[in-house]
Amino acid sequence: MTEWEEVDISIGEPESNIESLATAADGLSANVESLHSNFWQDAAHLSEVEDRHVQVLINAGMIPEDHIASTEPTRKLSWFVNELNGRIDPDGLSIPVKGLEVDDIKIYQKTDQESLVRLKFVEKDGQELERFIDLKSESDKYNIKANFYNDRLYLRW
């Protein structure tokens, strides 16, 4: 089992890989995972169905987030980003972190059979927020890049 490795956070505008991803996401050359993810992002009409599904799970005594996260792991990332008022980009994500300095943010990555990222935010009064992100991919290891720019944390992979 590998240990957590700290990711360095650069200060400045982040680089983007969107140009290289755009060619892989059009037509029949796109992989199934990206097409499925794009479908879920564009399927706003399914929110009523999702709400009813969660309601059924609650009535059945199940924790909806655990069930849905196990059947659809990409939704877990979406919940995490929405919880922090962030944005998912084609090559990563960005999260507003107003009131925090770069020294208040710690990012770690770990690669076993899956790539995991651990984000830890420490406020001035000592309160901590820690979240884990599961990154699913065909590649063995992600190259996580972090930038802190204009009170936002940018993660790219």
d(CA 97, CA 105): 9
pTM over 0.85: no
- Tell whether the model's pLDDT for residue 103 goes beyond 90: yes
Which neighbouring-strand residues pair with 52? none
Q: How many whole angstroms from its chain centre is CA 7?
A: 15
Whole-number average pLDDT of the chain: 77
Residue 142 has pLDDT above 70, yes or no: no
Q: How confident is the model at residue 50 (pLDDT cuts 50, 70, 90)?
A: confident
Asked whether the beta carbons of 90 and 16 are under 8 A apart, the reply is no
3-state secondary structure of 133: strand
Q: Is the pLDDT of residue 1 over 60?
A: no
Tell me the pLDDT tens digit for each residue of 61-95: 666 666 666 676 666 777 778 778 889 888 889 99
Q: At what angle do helices 64-71 and 73-83 cross, to 10 degrees?
A: 130
Give residue for tokens 């505008």: 13
